[in-house]
Amino acid sequence: MKTLLIASLGALGIFSQTAQAEIVYNNTSNRLGLSYGSPFEFGDQVILSGTSRMVSGFTFEYFGTNFSGNETAKVRFYKNDGPVSQNQATPGTLIWDSESFPIVATPEAGFTLTWDKASITFNSRPVVVPDTFTWTVEFGGITTGEFAGANLYSPPTVGNGFTSFWEKGPGGWELRRGTNPGGGVTNNFDFGAVLHADPVPLDSYRITQVNKLGSQIQLIWQSELGQEYVIQVSETLNPPFWKNIGTNVGTTAPALNFTTPRTNGISFYQIKKN
């Protein structure tokens, strides 16, 4: 969950963040001398550091040889909210799709591909990722005698990862680990990548109004289509003790509201994006 805003009864309090980009994942320092290639989509589930989650840059390293000129790649981001496989939730909801783009053969060290903030959007909106998610690559146009894959690094110097990776074969997503078919054996399947992120701007879903309606209080905030929100209350912020009092789901309306009985004394209301 991401905390959106906190408001006290009779006043509107805003907790802002400093708008500075940060590296929230970096796995490009400790190369293992191995690479992995597949005719299927495959990739890493990563764990981000810090708190910034609006993607402002992404880089990954690939390796390709004996190309004939029609080779492509496609990068995607997924939430890990799919069916559970081997005690881990599989990639599910698509967060971002780069669409197919041409790639060229690389020297032994490989090439890095980089996307900036302007090119990482989904439905014309900035891409916000959760604390852990899966990024994947899918190579196209790879025929007999050609090879394309991702280079392995471990451990990450910023953020963390798993000793396994996801691959989407004919039967769906499968958790893979162990022997590297490209040569060598490793238990550290972390592919070389860097993720930059900005703080998620609170203004995009700020509480815009707090109304006293007799014995009720009404909170109004800007909403997103289909997004579920959790409303919580606490009688103190030192420390806070949040209690869930309701949920609401965004519709086509630009704003949502939630009405709840007023409490005695001062109460603090927090809206969370579920």
Provide the residue-wise pLDDT of the chain in tens; the chain has 274 residues: 444 444 444 332 223 333 457 999 999 999 888 888 999 999 999 999 998 888 999 999 998 999 999 999 999 999 999 999 888 999 999 999 999 999 999 886 678 888 877 777 766 667 889 999 999 999 999 999 999 999 889 899 999 998 889 999 999 999 987 555 555 555 667 899 999 998 876 544 566 778 888 888 888 877 776 778 888 888 877 777 888 988 887 765 667 788 888 777 777 887 877 7
pLDDT, residue 179, reads: 56
DSSP-assigned beta bridge partners for residue 127? none
- For the chain, what is the HEC assignment? CEEEEEEECCECCCCCCCCCCEEEEECCCCEEEEEECCCCEEEEEEECCCCCCEEEEEEEEEEEECCCCCCEEEEEEEECCCCEECCEECCCCEEEECCCEECCCCCCCCEEEEEEHHHCEECCEECECCCEEEEEEEEECCCCCCEEEEEEECCCCECEECCCEEEEECCEEEEECCECCCCCECCCCCECEEEEEECCCHHHHCEEEEEEECCEEEEEEECCCCCEEEEEEECCECCECCEEEEEEECCCCCEEEEEEECCCCCCEEEEEEC
Residues 143 and 265 in one domain: no
Residues 112 and 245 in one domain: no
Residues 49 and 150 in one domain: yes
Full residue range of the structural domain in which residue 41 is found: 22-198
Q: Which of 198, 214, 242 is the last residue of a domain?
A: 198
Residues 212 and 143 in one domain: no
pLDDT, residue 38, reads: 93
pTM for this predicted structure: 0.68
Residues 192 and 244 in one domain: no
Q: Which of 144, 165, 198 is the last residue of a domain?
A: 198
pLDDT, residue 2, reads: 43
Residues 157 and 229 in one domain: no
Q: Residue 119 phi/psi, 5° resolution?
A: -100, -5
Residues 150 and 136 in one domain: yes
Residues 236 and 152 in one domain: no
**What residue has token string 């009779």?**
10
Number of domains in the chain: 2
The structure tokens listed for 264 are: 């005695």
Residues 164 and 255 in one domain: no
Residues 72 and 185 in one domain: yes
Report the candidate in 273, 274, 242, 271 with the shortest Cα–Cα distance to residue 13: 271
Q: Tally Cβ neighbours within 10 Å of residue 130.
A: 15
- The span from the CA of 189 to the CA of 152, in Å, is 6
Residues 162 and 217 in one domain: no
**What residue has token string 């003790």?**
241
Distance from the first to the final alpha carbon of the chain: 5
CATH number of the domain enclosing 9: 2.60.40
Q: Which of 169, 198, 227 is the last residue of a domain?
A: 198
User: CB–CB of 220/256 below 8 Å?
Assistant: yes
Q: Tally Cβ neighbours within 10 Å of residue 95.
A: 20
Q: Tally Cβ neighbours within 10 Å of residue 34.
A: 20
pLDDT, residue 214, reads: 83
CATH number of the domain enclosing 33: 2.60.120
The structure tokens listed for 27 are: 């796995």
- The span from the CA of 140 to the CA of 142, in Å, is 6
Report the candidate in 71, 130, 119, 70 with the shortest Cα–Cα distance to residue 97: 119
Residues 183 and 118 in one domain: yes
The structure tokens listed for 99 are: 């669409």
pLDDT, residue 166, reads: 96
